[in-house]
Amino acid sequence: MNIFSEISYQYGITNTNQISSTTKSNKLSGLLGCAVFFNSSVALEFTLGYSSYRYSADSFANTGRVKSVIAGIGFQFHLEK
């Protein structure tokens, strides 16, 4: 079993010409998980994390924040020579 973590940050700017709006966004995410290997090529992965997304739009004076708890399960496949 292997334990791993992931931290990511995203910054975005979206321009909409039809309504002359610019939206800016920031997203910060963190994940923690473990991978259980069945053999050297295949693993089952479990993750748990948190995400915070903040945005603001100029033309509507619209701001907001979305907080999320993230849970996931999946497979890893590693290619070998």
pLDDT digits (tens, 9 = 90+) for 22-71: 888 999 999 999 999 999 899 999 999 999 999 887 766 678 899 999 99
Strands (E), the chain: 2-16, 21-37, 42-57, 62-77
Domain segments of the chain as ranges? 2-77
At position 25, the amino acid (one-letter code) is S
What is the pLDDT, as a whole number, of residue 17? 73
Asked if the model's pLDDT at residue 14 lies above 90, the reply is no
CATH number of this structure's domain 2-77 = 2.20.200
Task: Label residue 10 by pLDDT band (50, 70, 90).
Answer: very high
- Specify the pTM: 0.70
